[in-house]
Structures are given as structure tokens and as C-alpha cells.
Amino acid sequence: MAGLLSIFRSPFRGRPAPTGGKRGYLDEFPMDEKHFFPLPTFSFSSLPPDAPVARNRHPFYTDLALSRFGSIFTSRPSRRTWPSSQPKATEKPVKNMEKHHKFSIWYVIIAIWGVFLLNNLIVSSYGPKNMAYSDFLTALRGGEIVDVAITGDVISGTMRTMEKGDAHETRFVTRRVDPALSDELAKHNVTFRAQPESTFLRDIMSWVLPILLFFGIWYFMMQRMNPGGGVMAFGRNKAKLFAEKDIETRFTDVAGCDEAKEELKEIIDYLKEPERFQNLGGRMPKGVLLVGPPGTGKTLLARAVAGEAEVPFFSISGSEFVEMFVGVGAARVRELFTQAKEKAPCIIFIDELDAIGKARGMAVVGGHDEREQTLNQLLVEMDGFDPRVGVIIMAATNRPETLDPALLRAGRFDRQVLVDKPDVAGRLAILEVHAKNVKLGPDAELSTIAKKTPGFSGADLANAVNEAALLAARRGKQAVDMADLDEAVDRIVAGLEKKNRVINPKEKEIVAYHETGHALVARFTPGADKVHKISIVPRGIGALGYTQQLPTEDRYLMTKAELLGRIDVLLGGRAAEALIFGDVSTGAHNDLQRATDIARAMVSEYGMGETLGPATFPRQNRPVFLSPEQAPLAGREYSEATAARLDEEVKGILMDRMDHVSDLLAAKRPALERVARRLLDQEVLDDAQFEALLDAVPGPGPAA
């Protein structure tokens, strides 16, 4: 959680001593990952490495150096009207740019039924008269039959009738019943002939109709699977067009990234009043790249720009350009830019640009060339269109170090805007935005939640507010109180409580002393973050307890003494076990790993060693996040002798801090036992209860 969150873990699912602390949203100390700035980055929290939410959501490079990564999030967007000289688009709110007609099998059925009805109508109006066989015989004997044609048992022909003294010939048809009809016809001198039965309709029904039915079903299924309209539709772009009148997101709905909004206001002014820039001979950047960790709202910020400028907004993901057919991606890029020019002024937004913009020539064996063709076409299109047209390209990525240098050069993505995670003020603003529609109790303090969530992105904060509302509803409350907000943050960071997990009394006692050791060392270490909560309630997959510290402010630099204090707090749990039980457990596995990482970084990266001096000894070179340079992976660049000296210095730091922590806990043993016993009874202690227990212990103690 905030500050240092030390976790006691138990072995899980038969893994060989897979114990240690939980990784959290400000995760483990990044010894070999230098992201964003060449500053020391450290852990504010620790949660189990196998906790998927905490580990994946809060990568280590967001711990300290970038605990300010801004975020933008919105509640329900408000509708505002802005003056604009641009014409309104007529598209629907969300329109797929593929131009095709919807097909339904019912159209075919209705058409066939209509043809049959029309045929029956024509036949009944102009066809031969249907007469009974007895009437036919009567007419035959009366001499009214002129001629007949016999087809099987069907008789058709012409008969003469008298109407008002005039003779009229009428066509008739009937069915033969008498087999001796030919004798009767010859007797009355009637011309008759045999006519072969036509099989045309029967042939159509038996051969042509099944084939047509088969192709109709196949076409219908293809339309359902691929609404784009068949194989030729693969080249059509899949961008969704949002008309300007339907984009309700505005900058007022965005919080936690004031610097990014200031950078993008020029784009809005240019789209509204391009003449003001063109009169001075200036041109707007062709492309704006939004860079930042996941969950900071880069897509939302792009929509807000389109909403403020009141222009059409094309939105597409980078992965939608590439298909299984060669050349599809390039065709979609061409069509996208063609459509954008027709709708200018407008904004094209490509999300996850790294899906098509990775550096060329880095493909592994077995890959294909389609992505590079798509990238080449994108580069050509960005070079080929006139910036005065009014088409602005915006893209978002959280992996800018993988992008091709040609994509980032001047004239393409001219401007890179960092959308980082928010600081304390930004987190408070984001919480207020998301809490607009949530009923908060009188004790709910969003400022406290903002302070205890360093490293949270806007998505994490939105999730925390929503979790708190769900918890309050589950408990039958009328409003969300502080307890719900605290529990929501704990659920996000440490996982769900496992109160039904059965732990034997001996292990529970070890966990209690382990967590108390962390808390006591943090309490009596100068400069350490304040202890906020101690818990031995199992959470998540394998965490049996945790100690939560709350920082008073966001930090960007740390001194050597503060780093050593971090190591002391991490070693406090193991030292407490050794002091009370004379033995150690596997629960300190992650604590030891993180303490070792800090010590190694001090010696090899920060020049804080005693014998090696102010030199750095990186273990390997790697691309740095937010840097356009591509550095190949390589092995270490120092000798075995230097590596041995590094190992000795790391070991010396850890042993020295372990001795210091053991002496501190030995001097505070009464407090250690008192707090641990109360923790065994209550399972959870907050900061006030912890301080009260320490005040009740007789004897002076060192000041924190």
C-alpha cells in the first residue's frame, strides 16, 4: 500500500518456499530498470509476486521516480456548446467507415413470395378458364369444342360460345377422367393432339433452386461473420467516426494532467482558428504522441481535444490495420487518410501505436513483413498530406521505446506529450471527479485516500471509488464511509480477505511477530514513513499479513540514509522471528529479495559503496522507457574481480543492517511482545491503536 507494505507470505501450492511479500502498486525496488529519469526509485509497497492485479497494474518503474504519473478520468460528461466556424458533420454518433449494405435472408424469402403472388394474379386474370370435366363433355357433345391438346391427364383447348348472338372463343383447361376420350373426340370431328409434358419448372425446382439456396445460405453466413462485405472489404479501414456534435467529453471532465492539457490547447486553437497561425507563417504539428503508463486516460484526453475543438474524431486501434492478407494494412492506412481529408478539419486517433509502429528490422524469425509495410505506408501518408488541410494525427502508446525512429522524427509526430500518473493533488482531483455521483458519508475524506495511493493511475482510483460504492451497497449502507474507501483500496492492492483460511496457531504467532517487527523498525527509524495499519488477516493468494505505511508526501529523491532505512524496515520481520523464536521462516523471502535489490543498486548504480567509489556498474544495457534510442541487450561491462567486490559490498551492507535491526528490536522487546499479543487478539491494528500500545510500554524509546 502507501509507503512500505511489508507482507508475510506462506508457501503456496507446493512451490519450493515461494514466500515473501506482496508486490503492490508501488512495487519492488527497480534495481535494473531505469525508467523516465535517472533517479533512485524505491518501493512504497510490496505485495505477493503472484497477485495478478497488484503486480500487473503497478509496474516497478512507477514506484517513486514517477509516482506523479498523471491521469485523466471523467465522470458523466456534461454537454457544452462552443463557438465554431466549422460545418457540422452528418454522421451518426458511431459510424463504421466501411460502406456496405446489410443483407438479410428475409429479403430473398419476401421477394420469392411476391413473385408467386404476382404469377397467380396474372394467371387468374388472363389464363385459361378452369372447367369441370362434366362441363367439358357437355360442351363436346354440344359441338362447342374447337380443338384440344392433351398433356398427360390435363386437357386444354379452345371452345366456341355464343354471347348476344356473337361467337367467342374461350381458352379452357380441365382434367381427363374418361380413358376413352379419343373416341368421343373423333366422333364429334374435333381436332386433337398430344402435347409433351413440360419439365422446365420441375427442372428449376430440382436443380437450380437448391444451388441458389446453397449460395444464398453461404452468402448470408459470410455476411454474418464479416459484415464488411466479403474478401474485398479487408482493405477497408475499420476506423470509427464520431461526429463533433456527439463528442461530449470536455477538458472539464479531465483531471490530474494539467500539463498535458496545456500542451494540447494549441491543437484546439489551431483547429478552431487556423488563420491565426497561418498568418504568422506557422504550422501546426502533424502528429501528437501521447505517452504514459496504462490507465492514465490517453484515449480520453484525445476525445476531449476533439470535443473542445468540435471536429470529427476518427478512432482506430493500431492492431486493426494488420490482417492475414498482405497489403491490407497499407490499404487501410490510405483509405483512412482519404476519408479524413474529406472530413477535415478532424482528428485521427490511433490507439496502441506500438502495434504497427515498432522499429523495423527487429522482427524475430517466423514473423512477417505486413506490419512493416503498414508502417511504411503510414510514414508516407504523414509526409504527404498538407498540414494546412486541418487533419491532426494523435496517437497513444505506453511503449515509446519500441517505436521506429522515423516515426518520431520532426515532421511526423512532432510533439510528445507525457500523460503520467498523478501526484497527490491530481489524485484528489480525480477522486472528486469520480465521486460526483457517489453518496459519501460525513467521515469520507478523499484527501486521505489520495495520500495513501501514490502510484495509482486514474483507472485505479476510479476502480477504488466504484469498489467502495459496491461494498457500501453490499453492507446495506445509505452512504459510502471512510471504512468502505479504505477497504476498497486494500482490496485493489492486497487482494480479497481470506478470513476462512485456516492457519495453525504457531504460524499465526510467527506472522504476528513478523509484521510487528516491520512496524516497530519503521516506527523507530528516522525518516521512515508512518505506520498506517498492521494486519495478519490473509489476503489474496498467499499473503498471510502485511504492514502498511503511509507517506506524508510524494518523493522523487532519496538519500543514502533513507535507503538504509528502507533496508532496515524490510529486515525487521526476519529479525523479529530470530529474536523471539530463535529460528527464521520462509515468510521473509520477498523482504530479503527487495532488501538485496536496494543494497545492490546502492553499490552498482548509485555510487554509494564504500570501496568502489562513485562509479556505476550496470548489469546490462537496455532501452530506457520514454527514450527513442534502441540499446541492444548486452552482458555486464566489468570484470569478475569487480563483480566479486560488488557482491562483498552488498553482503556487508545487509549484514550490517541486520545487526542494527536486531539490536533495535532487542531493546524494544517489551513493545514487540505487547503489540504482537494484541495483534493476535484483534488481527488488525490501525495507527492510533499502534501508538497507544507503544505509549503504554514503560521506559523511554528512541524518537522516530
Residue 294, Cβ density class (10 Å: 0-12 exposed, 13-18 middle, ≥19 buried): exposed
Print burial letters for 665-692: b (CB count within 10 Å at least 16), e (below 16).
beebeebbebbbebbbeebebbbebbee
Active site residues: 515
Instruction: Considering only CA atoms, give the Rg of the chain.
Output: 40
597: left (phi over 0), alpha (psi -120 to 50) or beta: alpha
Cis, bond preceding 442 (omega within 30 deg of 0): no
CA distance 213 to 220: 10
Let me know how long the chain is: 704
Residue pointed to by grid coordinates 505485495: 47
CA distance 172 to 531: 106
Count helices and strands (H / E) in the chain.
23, 16
Print burial letters for 393-412: b (CB count within 10 Å at least 16), e (below 16).
bbbbbbbbbebbebbbeeeb
CA distance 339 to 346: 10
56: left (phi over 0), alpha (psi -120 to 50) or beta: alpha
CA distance 65 to 43: 10
Strands (E), 266-337: 287-291, 313-317
CA distance 127 to 201: 17
Degrees (nearest 5) of the Cα angle 418, 423, 425?
120
Single out the residue of 525, 524, 519, 523 nearest to residue 576, CA to CA: 519
CA distance 579 to 662: 7
Single out the residue of 689, 558, 556, 552 nearest to residue 2, CA to CA: 552
CA distance 636 to 616: 11
| Chain Cα centroid distance, residue 498 | 28
CA distance 320 to 371: 11
Question: Helix 424-434 vs helix 458-474: angle between axes, to the nearest 10 degrees?
Answer: 50
Q: Which three cell numbers stand for residue 401?
A: 521505446
CA distance 574 to 382: 59
Q: Which three cell numbers stand for residue 262?
A: 496545456
> Which helix (H) or strand (E) segment is 458 a member of?
helix 458-474
